Amino acid sequence: MTNAIAVVTIAAWLVAILGAQWFDAAAFGGFIPARVFGGHDLPGALPWPLTPLSATLIHADLLHLAFNMLMLVWCGRQVEQAIGGGYTLLLYGVGAYAAALGQFVMGPHQTSVMVGASGAISALMAFYALVFSEQKVRQIGPIPSHIVRALWLGAAWVGLQMLIGLGFGIGGALIAVGAHIGGFIAGLLLARPLLRLRYRR
């Protein structure tokens, strides 16, 4: 399943680039927070509820695509071994929508287009970090150790994304910080439920 997601994503990018339609693809298939409230609508664009998924198929350039696919294959294959292809696809899809929600929360009236699979991949990364981390974490009072681990990972990820956003923001680059945070939180929240579903017998 991880390989299939990567192949489809790469193929979509190649079609857009070779057909010289990248700008149209980004405008019509990317997620634009302002569209949620009916603003900044574009004739011919996909309905906004579909754009969190379609945005994962659109990337700014080859470097953007390559880095995302590297992280997808590295983390996704490990996650897939743990919960299977179907639940991996579910986690990826939920991560895409959580990423869009995170980006929306950061700026509901933003008209800039969010593209890329990094938000959905962040959900896989969160699962990978939570399940495969070898760091020992103790419980704090009545808070179980697995929740403490999730809280530490979530706090570290949010801090890292804020620093990245600040650094790249100064240089004028747009980084979907909200999307990365939203996807990661979704992965943390879904890790244990998906493992229980997978091994409920």
Domain boundaries, the chain: 2-198
For position 169, what pLDDT does the model report? 57
Are 33 and 109 in contact, with CB atoms under 8 Å apart? yes
Q: For 139-176, b where at least 16 C-beta lie within 10 A, e where not — what string?
A: eeeeeeeeeebbeebbeebeeebeeebeeeeeeeeebb
Q: What is the pLDDT along the chain (201 residues), one digit of tens a residue?
A: 999 999 999 998 888 877 656 667 777 888 988 888 876 677 777 888 999 999 999 888 888 899 999 999 999 999 999 999 999 999 999 999 999 999 998 888 888 888 989 999 999 999 988 888 766 777 777 777 667 777 767 777 777 777 766 666 543 446 788 899 999 999 989 998 999 998 886
CA Rg, the chain, in Å? 17
- Distance CA(75)–CA(166), nearest Å, equals 26
**What's residue 70's pLDDT?**
93
Q: Structure pTM?
A: 0.85
pLDDT at 81: 92
Which CA distances in Å does 76 have to 130, 143, 178? 13, 29, 21
**What integer pLDDT is reported at residue 171 of this predicted model?**
39
Please report the pLDDT score of residue 112 as a whole number: 82
List pLDDT tens digits, range 147-183. Answer: 777 776 777 777 777 776 666 654 344 678 889 999 9
**pLDDT confidence of residue 25:** 74
- Domain 2-198: CATH class, spelled out: mainly alpha
Q: In this predicted structure, what is the pLDDT of residue 159?
A: 73
